[in-house]
Amino acid sequence: MERNTWSTIDDRAVAVARALAMDSVQKVGNGHPGTAMSLAPLAYTLFQRFLKHDPIDSRWLGRDRFVLSCGHSSLTLYIQLFFSGYGLSLDDLQSFRTHNSLTPGHPEYGHTNGVETTTGPLGAGISNAVGMAMATRFEKGLLDPEGETALFDHNVWVICSDGDLEEGVSSEASSLAGTQALGNLKMIYDDNRISIEGDTHVAFTEDVTARYRAYGWKVIEVQALEDGNVDREELEKALIIAELTTNQPTLIRMHSVIAWPAPHARGTEGSHGSALGAEEIAATKVLLGLDPEQSFIVPGDVLAHARQVSQRGEEAHARWQIEFASWQLKHPERAALLERLRNKTLPLGWENALPVFPAGKDVATRSASGKVISAIASVLPEFWGGSADLAGSNNTTIEGSKSFLPSSSEIANTDPYGRLIHFGIREHAMGGILNGIALHGLSKPFGGTFLVFSDYMRGSVRLAALMNLPVTFVWTHDSIGLGEDGPTHQPVEHIAALRLIPNLAVIRPADANETSIAWREVITRGKPAGFALSRQNLPVIDRTIFGSAQGVAQGAYVLGDAVGTPDVIIIATGSEVALAIAAKELLSAEGISARVVSAPCLEWFAETSREYQESVLPSEVRARVSVEAGVSAGWREYIGDAGISIGLNHFGASAAAGILFKEFGFTPEAVVMAAKESIAKVGK
């Protein structure tokens, strides 16, 4: 962006921004004014002088990304969106943190124009930004691998706080960012030494500068002025250096005083999360050269001056568009790919590449998933991902792919545009990075680990669901079936817990073909989803005898039916579907008719019509059994008061899978007993 000479009207704009932060929190009675006050010079400088953006078209492909990782200071962002012309009004600032406003307590992606990601859980924004920076490079490889143009080169700017850097997820993500030499990642750390409990040195005394240099980042320190104000001139010099640094990520450590220049609240924990009070606000406005008797005052000349950034952004966008048109003519195939990716469409017939697995052979669903992943990658160049150091176990390696690592890497078989991401043993950051990749907009990411370690990344999974991002989590070793690794690695409560996250599809396929169809659905639907896949081999169901795997698209379907109305319905997922099939045969030998329902995804089933749900689980059949090798919580909704749930409501043990399933009651005979018990309950 063009940088004009800083003038007194810019100083006035910063003063107004500080006042708006105070006024907005004071009006609603709650919020975080202090950080927004001290960050005002930085935020204004970024949006007015460094960030490449077009407020008229907030989704401009060539824009820089801005992430406010310290989402509690949402006013820092909202005020600049208002100044820049993103559609926020003064009324929106006056409605801060109120129902249905465009200015909620924390920035929400998809809710407020100009917000690139939902932030608030500290550290999450940093991991998102790392994902965005990685996505920039990967997409460069799709569209301009020869480096002929700067059209697809842009920066990711982040503002973070002490709290962000205390969270482990930021350490995980920052370490990987250094390994990846993400030169387009620029992070400003607001080092004000204040959190809710006071001076951060009660818990946070490490040398952040040394830590980030050890990660492989360039670090620039900007000291505060003697009076505590941000040294804006030195800050701008640091921002210029960061902008010019392209071979490693940059951290600017900006020392500041929270709530500056409030006479009594500055530097205090009270200013972090509470309104300053009318008297303190009035005194602060006097120091800022503003009228202490007025609130939410934005002089016309100040707003007009700030809004000029919109014109500069529009002009930059227009220049970009001219070069883009030339690129389209020169590279029609790449241009067609870009158009498809921007429209979020899929190639015609892409699903024909998905494998079909023959019956009569046992295949672990993790292994089937690996084959499907490579098949998808063969037709969707935008599909990429990896694992938290478990690629061989998760089967998340794309066949023939190279590792995504910078050109400076000395590791063999690497490519800066590779499709295999090595996240390292960093589950939480992996989830946040996947979210950032998806937020960037053009590619389809996936990432894998063991299901039991979904606990480590749950915060990122929840945010993926909250933002409705097309991220796919590949969780393998889905039950006690993993065997000898024992209860520390055997997920028991995880599937039930993940199902509690709204808007997340949890998929536990029964065999290889269910896995293939489920992947088709995940890619087609483009929403957050997580697979729970088996370590052990499972029989590939003979679809000439049993229901088609196409039923996976409905989430649950009749796999094996009875003649006429069944006496009992057995609902199962994953490896336990084979037990249900075997139990059906045993029951049939005793003259009891059973319907077997495979339910790989209860969330998809819940989206179907009442008529379909009734056809699968007819209300007249009250005798029901659920079978799943995990806690039984949640199954009562499907089996009713007369139903019996076969589950695992305790931790597992270290032994072979076959022994554990038998020991803990996962056998066809146990299912038969439960079916009879349920039938008896109905008959009472």
Tell me the catalytic residues: 427
| Cβ-based neighbour number of residue 54 at 10 Å | 24
What count of Cα atoms within 13 Å lies in the side-chain half-sphere of residue 503?
A: 14
* DSSP output for 572-631: E-TTHHHHHHHHHHHHHHTT--EEEEE-S-HHHHHHS-HHHHHHHS-TT---EEEE-SS-
Q: Cβ neighbours of residue 605 under 8 Å, at least 6 residues apart?
A: 554, 555, 556, 599, 613, 616
The residue behind tokens 């941000």 is 230
Q: Distances in Å between the alpha carbon of 32 and those of 16, 57, 293, 417, 516?
A: 17, 29, 22, 41, 48
Alpha-carbon gap, residue 117 to 179, rounded angstroms: 24
Q: Distances in Å between the alpha carbon of 343 and those of 55, 323, 336, 436, 439?
A: 21, 21, 11, 19, 14
Tell me which DSSP letter residue 482 carries.
G
| Cβ-based neighbour number of residue 670 at 10 Å | 19
What count of Cα atoms within 13 Å lies in the side-chain half-sphere of residue 366?
A: 29
SS3 state at 555: coil
SS3 state at 537: coil
**Alpha helical stretches, state H, 331-443:** 332-343, 365-379, 391-394, 427-440
For residues 147 and 196, is the Cβ–Cβ distance under 8 A? no
Question: Backbone phi, then psi, for 25, in 5-degree steps?
Answer: -70, -40
* DSSP output for 85-111: TSS--HHHHHTTTSTT-SS-SS--TTT
In 3D, which of 430, 392, 531, 398 has the Cα closest to residue 475?
531
